[in-house]
A = this chain, B = another copy of it.
Amino acid sequence: MNLGVIGLGMMGRGIAQSLLRAGHRVTVWNRTPSRAEELQSQGALIALTPADACKDGVVITCLSEDDAVKAVVFGDYGIANAVAGCIHISMSTLGLDLILQLNKTHSEAGQRFIAAPVFGRPDAAAAGRLLIVASGDVEAIAKCQPVFDVVGQRTIVVGTDPVAAPMVKLIGNFLLVSAVESLAEALALLRKSGTDPQACFNFLTDTLFSAPVYKNYAGLMLEHRYDPGFRLALGLKDIGLVLDAAESFDVPMPAASLVRERILTGIARGYQDKDLSSLALISAEEAGRRKE
């Protein structure tokens, strides 16, 4: 297939590389052109504008900032001003309001919108191992299946309502940060009480909690590894989107509020560029341990 990729941060670059490696013709655009040029040597074509990246009829965006998405879609030379019939696949985690606005704009422009947020770190993107949750027009999704097959190890379609997949992504992120917060509090207690945290976490993540999220974050915390991965600043944005969604549906989520406050504490301490695993640092500091 011929397609465009807009937004070449760590995720976008990985996705573009996966697609190139699979033999697709990929046209890329990035606000900072140097990142696009890096991909040229791997076979990517360079678009001069976002609209230009859509000329083959399918374009993927990987942009975590709302304003960046708006500029790329609604701006002059934006996707909404590109060819009718174009399919826009958004793979970022966006707020539900923006998702609805994108869907409306594309629909009015005779285009189609697929929300296809992903779970996975940048290395999973580059390896074509992402988990993809998609919602939107059935036929458009079917047409883009080859793209999903390359980028993801698994794609689940959760409905035609464009906000369905973004909601699943928000829920997944909420469960993730809650689980990490509880691991962090547990670890602080284990360490301060003199119980072997490795034995405890190994046992629990081998049995009741034998899930990738628990194994992964327990491992990072036990080894004092706080490099991203999933930056705390991004965690704050994501939990903010969860709380916005919850407020719009009048749903109290006290555990989400609590973890938002903890992440904000981390950011106030200068951990904005550390991994979500640094919630363990915060819990340790709250418990009076200065050095970890």
Interface residues of A (CB under 8 A from B): 119, 131, 133, 154, 156, 158-159, 161, 163-164, 167-168, 171-172, 174-176, 178-179, 181-183, 185-186, 188-190, 192-196, 199-200, 203-204, 207-214, 236, 240, 242, 245-247, 249-262, 264-265, 267-270, 283, 286-288
A145 to B96, CA, bound (A): 45
A179 to B217, CA, bound (A): 15
Specify how many copies of this chain sit in the oligomer: 4
A119 adjacent to B208 (CB under 8 Å): yes
Contacts of A253 in B (CB 8 A): 185, 188-189, 261
Contacts of A287 in B (CB 8 A): 249-252, 268
A-B pairs with beta carbons under 8 Å apart, 26 shown: A131-B208, A156-B199, A158-B203, A163-B195, A167-B189, A167-B193, A171-B204, A172-B208, A178-B181, A182-B255, A185-B251, A185-B255, A193-B245, A208-B211, A208-B213, A210-B210, A211-B211, A211-B214, A250-B264, A250-B288, A252-B262, A254-B254, A254-B258, A255-B255, A257-B257, A258-B258
Contacts of A159 in B (CB 8 A): 195-196, 199
Contacts of A204 in B (CB 8 A): 168, 171-172, 175
A164 adjacent to B195 (CB under 8 Å): yes
Contacts of A265 in B (CB 8 A): 252, 286
